[in-house]
A = this chain, B = another copy of it.
Amino acid sequence: LVCFGTLSVILLLKTKNKRKKKRIVTPKHLFFPDKSGHNASTLLNLISSLPSHSLDICVYCLNGKDFLEAILSVHKRGVPVRVITDNEESYVQIATLRKGGVQVRTNMSSSYLMHHKFAIIDRSLLITGSLNWTRQGLNGNYENVIITDDVGYLGGFLKQFEELWESFDPL
Q: Chain A residues in contact with chain B, CB under 8 A?
A: 1, 4, 7, 28-29, 31, 33, 60, 107, 111-118, 128-131, 136-137, 140-144, 146, 151-153, 155-157, 159-160, 163-164
Contact = CB atoms under 8 A, between A and B. Distances in A.
Given A112-B33, A136-B112, A164 B152 contact: no
A157 B60 CA distance: 23
27 contacts: A1-B160, A4-B155, A4-B159, A7-B155, A28-B153, A29-B156, A29-B157, A33-B112, A111-B140, A112-B136, A112-B140, A112-B141, A112-B142, A113-B140, A115-B131, A115-B137, A115-B141, A115-B143, A117-B130, A118-B144, A128-B129, A128-B130, A129-B130, A142-B164, A144-B157, A144-B160, A146-B153
A130 B156 CA distance: 15
Contacts of A28: 152-153, 156
A88 B155 CA distance: 35
A129 B131 CA distance: 10
Given A28-B153, A128-B129, 18 more contacts: A1-B160, A4-B156, A7-B152, A28-B156, A31-B160, A33-B112, A111-B140, A112-B136, A112-B140, A112-B141, A113-B140, A113-B141, A115-B142, A115-B143, A116-B142, A118-B130, A128-B144, A144-B157
A144 B130 contact: no
Contacts of A163: 1
B153 A29 contact: yes
